[in-house]
Structure 1
Amino acid sequence: MTAARDIMHVGAECVRTDQSAADAGRIMAEKKVGALPICGPDDKIKGVVTDRDVVVKVVAQGRDPSTFPAGDLNQAEAVTIGADDSIEEVLSTMIHHQVRRLPVIDGRALVGMIALADVVRNVPAEQAGKLTEALSID
């Protein structure tokens, strides 16, 4: 059985809730990623911020990214996947929560990230098509 840990990108880094949207953007640029988990002072994942979130919710609204808290970009619910969960569970979670990226946790520790492309590369074409269709923006 293929597990989340088998397809994830290791070494994911959090942006902290008390850091700024500009900090999030800098970390994404340095890591060459389009999303970061947002972690609180307790290291618990509070959500995920994307490069699109920074642009649409901060820059396009005329807000200052250097003072806008990254923690204010949290979703209502932090969606994660366990490192030992099956790829089928990853697929189901992405579809159910309509997310393209999932932080991977082992216990409470962040161990990686899975993006839509990682799943698509590792499932049969029919499942990949269903996932892509389910997450497509109208």
Structure 2
Amino acid sequence: MTTAKEIMHPGAQWISRKDTVERAAQLMKELDVGVLPVSDENERLCGIITDRDIVLKCIAVGHDPAKTTCSDLCEGTPRWIDANADVDEVLRALENHRIKRLPVIENKKLVGMISEVDIARHLSEDEIADFVERVYAGR
């Protein structure tokens, strides 16, 4: 059984919910990523912020990224997967919630992220085709 930890991209980094959107954009640039998990004071997942969130929910509506906090942009319940979950559970989570990225948590700490690229690297062509059809067919 292949686990989430085996297919994830290790080294994901939190951003605090109190940090500004401007800082989130800077960190995304430094890390060359388009998404950051957002943590509370106890380094527990409380949201996710994407580059698209920054553009559409902050800049496009005239908010100041230097004054807007990451928590201002986080909506809904953040989704995550346990590091020991098998790949089928990962695929179900991505499919059921129609999301493209999934933080991986081990012992209540962030240990990595799984993206569509990670899925593509670890599944057969038939499995990838089936996954893509299930996730994007209804969009």
* Bin for the TM-score computed over the shorter chain: over 0.9
Which residue of structure 2 lines up, in the alignment, with residue 9 of structure 1? 9
Which residue of structure 1 lines up, in the alignment, with residue 126 of structure 2? 126
- Structure 2 residue runs of 5 or longer lacking an equivalent are none
Relative to structure 1, the CA distance from residue 83 to residue 32 in structure 2 (aligned partners, 3 Å threshold; closer, same or farther) is same
TM-score if structure 2 supplies the norm length? 0.93
Whole-Å Cα distance in 2 between the matches of residues 18 and 33 of structure 1? 20
Where do 1:76-87 residues align within 5 Å?
A: 76-87=76-87
TM-score if structure 1 supplies the norm length? 0.94
Relative to structure 1, the CA distance from residue 135 to residue 72 in structure 2 (aligned partners, 3 Å threshold; closer, same or farther) is farther
Where do 1:54-69 residues align within 5 Å?
A: 54-69=54-69
Contact 1:12 1:111 in 2 (8 A): yes
Where do 1:8-87 residues align within 5 Å?
A: 8-87=8-87
Contact 1:15 1:36 in 2 (8 A): yes
Deviations 1:32-73 (A, max 9, x none): 011110101121101211111111111111111111110122
Shift of 1:5: 0.8
Relative to structure 1, the CA distance from residue 72 to residue 95 in structure 2 (aligned partners, 3 Å threshold; closer, same or farther) is same
Shift of 1:120: 1.9
Which residue of structure 2 lines up, in the alignment, with residue 116 of structure 1? 116
Aligned length: 138
